[in-house]
Structure formats: C-alpha cells, structure tokens
Amino acid sequence: MATKSNTPPSADSPSASPSFEDALKELEGIVAAMEAGQMPLQDALDAYRRGMALLRQCQETLAAAERQISILDANGLRDFGAAGNGPGEASGSGGGQAG
C-alpha cells in the first residue's frame, strides 16, 4: 500500500510557492514569533531562513506586478482625468504621440 500524506502539496514541497497573500501572512507570523524572543536558537535560524525565502518571493511577485502595470500603461492605459487629457484629447487610434 502506498503511503499518502493528507497535507496539501504546498506544505510538503518547498518548490511549491504559496500565493502572495499566504506568503505575506506566513512572513508576518514568523516576524511576530521572532520578535517574541521565545524561540530556541536553531528554530530562530530556521524561521529566519524561511522568512528570507518568503520575503524574496513577495518581492519578486511585486516586481512582476509592477512590470505588468508598466506594460499595460505603455499600451495606452491612462488616467483620463489627468491634466492634458481633456474630452477631445483622448486618442482612439495611432501609435505615436504628436510632439
């Protein structure tokens, strides 16, 4: 008989990354536990290592989101309420800017 774990794959596999929100929540828990100062040294080192991995993942996720926003913004998304974009100035076609 095969032995299967009842825990989700993300809990068993370090290669499976949690969502941004789950990573942030876990990171906050690690920080709170470390700030309490009640961890044995080895547990604190392990928690620090895990926290740094989570922090790196969150930073990479945010950087990817910023890149996506920049791409979307470059493709013509603008705040039409901003100065210089009056009702007659919104362009529906054309690739270049008049200058």
User: What would the pLDDT profile of 59-96 be if each residue is shown by its tens digit?
Assistant: 999 999 999 999 888 877 566 666 555 444 444 444 44
pLDDT tens digit string along 23-68?
999 999 999 999 999 999 999 999 999 999 999 999 999 999 999 9
What are the structural domains, with CATH classification, of the chain? 18-74 (1.10.287.1040)
Q: What's the rounded Cα separation, in Å, for the pair 44 and 23?
A: 18
Q: What's the rounded Cα separation, in Å, for the pair 51 and 43?
A: 12
Q: What is the pTM of this model?
A: 0.59
Q: What's the rounded Cα separation, in Å, for the pair 19 and 52?
A: 16
